[in-house]
Structure 1
Amino acid sequence: MTQLHHQIAIVTGASNDRGIAAAICRRLAAQGIDIFFTYWKSEASWPNTFQQEIIRQGVRCASIEIDLSRIDAHLLLLDSVSEQLGFPTILINCAAHSIDSNYMDLDAKTLDDHYYTNVRATSLLCVEFARRYERLNLSSGRIINLTSGQALGPMPGNLAYVASKAAISAFSQSLSAELAPLGITVNAVNPGPTDTNWMTDEIRDHLLPKCPMGRIGLPEDAARVIAFLASEDACWITGQVIHSEGGFYRG
């Protein structure tokens, strides 16, 4: 796969060692891409430890602790990246807010909390990234948003999360048409059930029979797909929602 040296990637939501965002940072750094990651409510020493791990791969790395539900989070983040590393050409929106909610307990606050992080922050980061990118007259940009396969079948008990992630899938497809003339591709990736810090043994036991490849997805599986979409080899792919689930069966 084409290496992307001297590029800078933003990866949001790298708040723990076992998450998809951390795996993405490692994968991109291995390709020579400088990394700027965001985190929120991590263990005190983890962000610095992780930053040093990325730097040891021979790239630059910086980070910021930021609550993406802030109304100005997109501006603060892009300003910080530009000041510390330079303007990025890759934006990966991995951060997400997720609280179980069914028809009995769904309320306005639950919907708003999901909207602020999953929809508003992602959407505003995308468009502000594109505006600044156009002013700088750059080429070959990448936006990759994480979604959750909500269009492939019902996800009961996750109504607010499903609604917010569905919005990102639709937004990504329409935004891709607007940004194609600028040379920015926009895609979304659904990694399927992934064995990160949220998954318990009970959940693993429930999911494993639905995984025909004999295992549950790993963060590294998602990172490989996203690294490809960030590469020059994916320059002709835009407006897609890619379901990378290892054949996960919803029946």
Structure 2
Amino acid sequence: METSQRVALVTGGSRGIGAGIVRRLTNDGVRVAFTYLKSKELADDLARETGALAIQADSGAEDAVRSSVDETVRHFERLDVLVNNSYAATGLPIEQLPMAEFDRMFQVNVRGTWIAIQEALKHIGNGGRIVNIGSIFADHLPTGEVMRTGHAAYSMAKAGLAGMTRALARELAPKGITINTVQPGLILTDAATQEIAEHMTSLTPVGFGGNPADVAGVVAYLASLESRFVTGSTWDVDGGFGA
């Protein structure tokens, strides 16, 4: 498939799942820009490795989100794919969660995604693709004491993201633009502590955690022209956790 002329923006792309997506898309011949918040050294290293464009932007700040889309278009002169990967999370139970952290989760996970899509739609046309990275926690939460509390706000935000995807699929279909959600389960990155990784592995039927490339492979398909008949759907990449 011809991808050399297609351009993608990946939010939160400097590490973990985001970096895996940047690597896969550039390997597939897509020209990629990605945003990062604080990890400048990692972002610069990834940009050198892949040839992608690194853009410093806070996905919870409206002006920064809009500017990152505009900078991508200025640099590449087009935009075909938007991957909303930025996220904010906390593990505090409801009694201890400051409202500032609650608000931050929704600013990044929901509001920031909405703004990125709104801005990207000024440029994305027929054949465009939007992929939202959610979480299996939107639908299923782990049993056991290790992770009993602290996921309500994050789960609510990611469930809202999935709802946004379904509604926008109908709205954007007449424009030839598809939008889908990918919901990772246990993905072994620097964000997963050993205790959580071991507990989640025990609840995952395949018996092991995934890696960023497992998510990136699904994103690459949904970002491609081959996925033209797939929209409004949720793709669980979780080793059977939610089965």
State the TM-score, normalized to the length of structure 2.
0.92
Aligned residue among 110, 120, 139 for 2:111: 120
Gaps of 5+ in 2: 143-148
The within-5 A match list for 1:45-194 is: 45-55=41-51, 61-133=52-124, 138-154=125-141, 156-194=149-187
Q: Are positions 1:41 and 2:34 aligned together?
A: no
Task: State the alpha-carbon separation in 1 of the partners of residues 102 and 150 from structure 2.
Answer: 13
Task: State the alpha-carbon separation in 2 of the partners of residues 38 and 204 from structure 1.
Answer: 27
Cross-structure match for 1:14? 13
Q: Are positions 1:26 and 2:13 aligned together?
A: no
Structural RMSD (CA) = 1.6
Cross-structure match for 1:203? 196
Q: Which moved more, 1:69-78 or 1:175-184?
A: 69-78
1:83 is aligned with what amino acid? R
Contact preservation (8 Å) 2:3, 2:28: yes
Q: What is the SS of the residue equivalent to 2:73?
A: helix
Task: State the alpha-carbon separation in 1 of the partners of residues 48 and 27 from structure 2.
Answer: 14
The Cα offsets for residues 91-116 of structure 1, whole Å up to 9 and x where unpaired, read as 00001011113221134212211111
Percent of residue pairs bearing the same amino acid type: 32
Q: What is the SS of the residue equivalent to 2:179?
A: strand
In the TM superposition, residue 150 of structure 1 has moved relative to its aligned partner by 2.9
In the TM superposition, residue 241 of structure 1 has moved relative to its aligned partner by 1.0
State the TM-score, normalized to the length of structure 1.
0.89
Q: Which moved more, 1:181-190 or 1:98-107?
A: 98-107
1:102 is aligned with what amino acid? P
Contact preservation (8 Å) 2:13, 2:35: yes
Task: State the alpha-carbon separation in 2 of the partners of residues 71 and 22 from structure 1.
Answer: 23
Task: State the alpha-carbon separation in 1 of the partners of residues 2 and 209 from structure 2.
Answer: 29
The Cα offsets for residues 186-237 of structure 1, whole Å up to 9 and x where unpaired, read as 0000011111111122222212222222311111100000001111111100
2:10 is aligned with what amino acid? V
Contact preservation (8 Å) 1:73, 1:121: no
Task: State the alpha-carbon separation in 1 of the partners of residues 139 and 41 from structure 2.
Answer: 39
The Cα offsets for residues 1-35 of structure 1, whole Å up to 9 and x where unpaired, read as x342210000110232xx00100011111110001
How many residues are treated as equivalent by the alignment? 237
Q: What is the SS of the residue equivalent to 1:80?
A: helix
Q: What is the SS of the residue equivalent to 2:121?
A: helix
Task: State the alpha-carbon separation in 2 of the partners of residues 204 and 162 from structure 1.
Answer: 18
